[in-house]
Amino acid sequence: MTPLKLVAVTAGLSRPSSTRLLADRLAEAARLRLAEEHEVEVRVVELRDLAVDIANNLVTGFPAPALRDAVEAVAGADGLIAVTPIFTGSYSGLFKSFFDVIDNTALAGKPVVLGATGGTARHSLALEHALRPMFSYLRAITVPTAVYAASEDWGTSGDAGVDGLATRITRAAGELAGLMARRPPAVEPAAAEPAGTAAPFENVVPFERQLAALRPINGR
C-alpha cells in the first residue's frame, strides 16, 4: 500500500517556536488517526530555513534545490497542515511568499488544516478573514476547524464556552484524516482513441445553426 503523505508547513521564526509546536501537534494527531488503517509519511517544512531562497525565487523566478524540494513535497502531499504566526492581524510575509512561489493549481482539491499562533486571542479571526480566503483562491479544501493558539492556550483545557487547544487540535486532525483517507486517486490521462472512432463532439450542432433557429419567422 502506498503511504499517505502528510506535509506540515510552519512559518515560525524563532527556535523553539510555538508555531512549529502547533504544526507538530496537528501532524501527530492526524498521523495517529490515519495510522489505524494507513501508513503515513510526515514531513515538516520549516520556512525559516528557506527564507533567502524564497526571496531569491521571487526576484529571479528560479528556485534553489532546497526550495524546489519543499515545493514538490507540498504539491505531492495527500494532506497539508499550514501554520503561521499572526503579525499585524494577518499571516506573515514569509508564509505568504512561500505560497506565492507555488503554482496556483498545485493545491487544487488538497485537504488542508489551517493553524496560527499569536500573543492574544484577539487575532484568532485572522484564520477566517486572511488564511481561509487565500487557500480558497488556491482551490484547496480547508477543513471546517481552524486552530488558533494564543499564549494563554498552551496547557489549558478551555472553559464551558470554548474548547481547549487539545480538543481543537484533535477535531481538526480528525477532519483532515477523514478527507485524506477518502481522497480519490489522481485521474489517469485518457487513453488515445483507436483509429476510426468517432470524435465525441462530431454531432454537435454548429452555433450558427442554433442561432438561426431562434430568429423570428416572418418578422414576428
Which CATH number characterizes residue 71's domain? 3.40.50.360
Q: Is residue 211 part of a domain?
A: no
**Domains held by the chain: number:** 1
pLDDT tens readout for residues 80-136: 999 999 998 899 999 999 999 999 999 999 999 999 999 888 889 999 999 999 999
Q: Is residue 201 part of a domain?
A: no
Residues of 149-176 as b/e, b for ≥16 C-beta within 10 angstroms?
A: bbeebeeeeeeeeeeebbebbbbbbbbb
What is the DSSP-derived secondary structure letter of residue 163? B
Q: Is residue 13 part of a domain?
A: yes
Question: Residue 152 has what pLDDT?
Answer: 85
Q: What is the pTM of this model?
A: 0.80
pLDDT tens readout for residues 29-74: 999 999 988 899 999 999 999 999 999 999 999 999 999 999 999 9
Q: Is residue 202 part of a domain?
A: no
Q: Is residue 210 part of a domain?
A: no
Q: Where does residue 18 rank: exposed (0-12), middle (13-18), buried (19+ CB within 10 A)?
A: buried
Question: Residue 66 has what pLDDT?
Answer: 97
> Residue for cell digits 529571479?
60
Q: Which residues lie across from 117 on neighbouring strands?
A: 85, 149
Q: Is residue 220 part of a domain?
A: no
Q: Which domain holds residue 26?
A: 4-182
Q: Is residue 212 part of a domain?
A: no
